[in-house]
Amino acid sequence: MNIDYQWISAWITAHADSLLAWLGAGLVVIILARVQFVLLSRKAARAMSESVATTVAACVPEIAAAARGGHVPAMHEPALGSLAAEPVLPKQGDSTGQRAELLRQLGLQTIAAVDARLRRLGDLGNLRLPEEALTRVPVSGVADPLLVVAPQHTVQAVLEAQRVYDHHARELAAQRRAAQQADDVCREAGEELRQARQASAAITARFEQANGRDDQADLQRLLIQEYNALGSREAAALERQTRLQQEAAALAAALQRAADAATQAYESAAIPLVARLRAAWGHGESAEWLAGGLDDGPGNSRLAAQADGVVDPAAIRVAP
């Protein structure tokens, strides 16, 4: 292949102005794109800085106040956001008071969860309730906020009550499934018995139609044989249904007894938890409950008696 360099040189010379114009335009576009990229990067960095500052100001008000005022708050100074969002607590032992206030708020949720779990255990023992009608309970775990702010004795009461509930809930769920399966088998046996009776009734009607007719003697003998076979089948189905009904009734009764026992066991396990939360709620001696047990004040003797199982669990109520 021969390349005509002279023609190429002549073409470039003839179009030199256009080529230079296009090269210059491309260079200008590249420079403008780079400048725009730098400006957008700086704008994004500035927006991110403002977002971080806003987040810090919302989450850590004392840092924002220090940044605005040029002074770092001392450890004993209350946070500005806390003064706006939380009720004013006594200056003496502010951290303890805030902790007690937080635990009071979490205590409301915990008492509601205890009540929901009690109703859930009772619902599991009622086979007439469908699954979607069972009481929903909040899911708890190691990330429960109450386990973070509560003192050790309250954490132990929470974990013990949760352990008792989980154990009985698993057992009741398994017993409920077994009872529901027995109910399903019993309904199947009832359907089989109903079909056998319908077939027997149909044969009886056909036999009555053929009765007294000489040309239907063979049909009558065949119908009698089928009727006898269906009679045996119906008797076996009736016996099976009766046995399955007794088994299903026994499982339902056992499930109800287990649900009652589980409810009582969880109530007993919840007594110490309710007592601890009542102390945190302010029914004890101010916030001193954080440093001790239920016997910190004279008002806690009744709670200690409840924790020992003296008071009827059904009488436990948390005062507003």
Position 260 scores a pLDDT of 93
Q: Are 60 and 99 found together in one domain? A: no
Q: Give, for all 320 residues of the chain, the pLDDT tens digit.
A: 567 778 888 888 888 888 899 999 999 999 999 999 999 988 888 888 777 766 655 555 554 454 444 444 443 333 333 333 333 344 444 566 676 677 677 777 888 888 889 899 999 988 888 888 888 886 665 556 666 667 777 788 888 888 999 999 999 999 999 999 998 999 888 888 888 888 888 888 877 777 766 666 777 777 778 878 888 888 888 888 899 999 999 999 999 999 999 999 999 988 888 877 777 665 554 444 445 444 433 334 333 344 444 334 343 333 33
Looking at beta carbons, which pairs linking 27-32 to residues 24 or more positions away fall under 8 Å?
none
Q: Are 57 and 116 found together in one domain? A: no
Confirm whether 276 is domain-assigned: yes
**Which two three-digit tokens encode residue 255?**
């499930």
**Which two three-digit tokens encode residue 116?**
């929901």
Q: Are 106 and 34 found together in one domain? A: no
In this structure, are residues 65 and 77 in contact, taking their beta carbons and an 8 Å threshold? no
Q: Are 143 and 200 found together in one domain? A: yes
Confirm whether 77 is domain-assigned: no
**Which two three-digit tokens encode residue 90?**
């006594």
Q: Are 26 and 168 found together in one domain? A: no
Q: Are 130 and 41 found together in one domain? A: no
Helices 61-69 and 16-59: crossing angle, nearest 10°? 110
- Using left for φ > 0, alpha for ψ between -120 and 50, and beta otherwise, residue 282 falls in left
Position 46 scores a pLDDT of 85
Q: Are 55 and 100 found together in one domain? A: no
Confirm whether 104 is domain-assigned: yes
- Identify how many contiguous H helices and E strands the chain contains and give both numbers: 9, 0
Q: Which of 27, 54, 69 is the last residue of a domain?
A: 69
C-alpha 108/C-alpha 298 separation (Å) is 24
C-alpha 186/C-alpha 127 separation (Å) is 14
Position 167 scores a pLDDT of 92
Tally of domains within the chain: 2
Confirm whether 85 is domain-assigned: no
Confirm whether 54 is domain-assigned: yes
DSSP state of 73: P
Range(s) of the domain holding residue 218: 95-315
Confirm whether 190 is domain-assigned: yes
Q: Are 56 and 154 found together in one domain? A: no
Sign of CA pseudo-dihedral 195, 196, 197, 198: positive
Q: Are 51 and 112 found together in one domain? A: no
If one counts every other C-beta atom within 10 angstroms of the C-beta of residue 77, the result is 12
Q: Are 65 and 102 found together in one domain? A: no
DSSP of 163-187, one letter per residue?
HHHHHHHHHHHHHHHHHHHHHHHHH
CATH number at residue 197: 1.20.1270
Position 144 scores a pLDDT of 66
Confirm whether 88 is domain-assigned: no
Q: Are 48 and 99 found together in one domain? A: no
Position 255 scores a pLDDT of 92
Confirm whether 90 is domain-assigned: no
In this structure, are residues 184 and 136 in contact, taking their beta carbons and an 8 Å threshold? no
C-alpha radius of gyration, the chain, whole number: 41
Position 156 scores a pLDDT of 84
Q: Are 64 and 101 found together in one domain? A: no
